[in-house]
Amino acid sequence: MSSIYDTDLPRTPANFAPMTPLAFIQRTAEVYPDRLAIVHGELRQSWADTYARCRRLASALQSRGIGRNDTVAVMLPNTPPMVEAHFGIPMAGAVLNTLNTRLDPEA
């Protein structure tokens, strides 16, 4: 049975906003710029700083001709650069391929 909330309520900016990872980081950097985004050892990085670093990564990739439908492979441990790759590479329009050394060679 449908809910009354599913009837006669078209999607509008007031009641529906898709949340993509890129929209998430942009919004979080705007709403919570000084909150901690990354804690790694002695490193403490805010959402504003993380967003800025991701944008710089995207810009660097684009300046090297990497863009829509290109694949960027990275082999990184779970560290801040991996977090930045998860946002920065899609910002450039590319697809992220994370390599995991713990997988078997066939994978």
User: pLDDT tens-digit profile of 4-22?
Assistant: 766 777 888 887 878 899 9
Average pLDDT over residues 32-40: 98
**4 assigned to some structural domain:** no
Model confidence pLDDT, tens digit, residues 50-106: 999 999 999 999 999 999 999 999 999 889 999 999 999 999 999 999 987 777 666
Rounded Cα–Cα distance for residues 28 and 8 (Å): 31
When divided into structural domains, the chain yields a total of 1
**73 assigned to some structural domain:** yes
**39 assigned to some structural domain:** yes
Report residue 107's pLDDT band, with 50, 70 and 90 as the boundaries.
low
The domain containing residue 62 runs over which residues?
20-98
Look at the chain and count its residues: 107
CATH number of the domain that 59 lies in?
A: 3.40.50.980
**62 assigned to some structural domain:** yes
**83 assigned to some structural domain:** yes
Model confidence pLDDT, tens digit, residues 37-49: 999 999 999 999 9
**75 assigned to some structural domain:** yes
Rounded Cα–Cα distance for residues 95 and 86 (Å): 9
Whether residue 84 contacts residue 57, with contact meaning beta carbons closer than 8 Å, is answered with yes
Predicted confidence at residue 1, as pLDDT, reads 62
Report residue 23's pLDDT band, with 50, 70 and 90 as the boundaries.
very high
**3 assigned to some structural domain:** no
Predicted confidence at residue 12, as pLDDT, reads 84
**58 assigned to some structural domain:** yes
Between vectors from CA 19 to CA 17 and to CA 23, what angle results, nearest 5°? 105
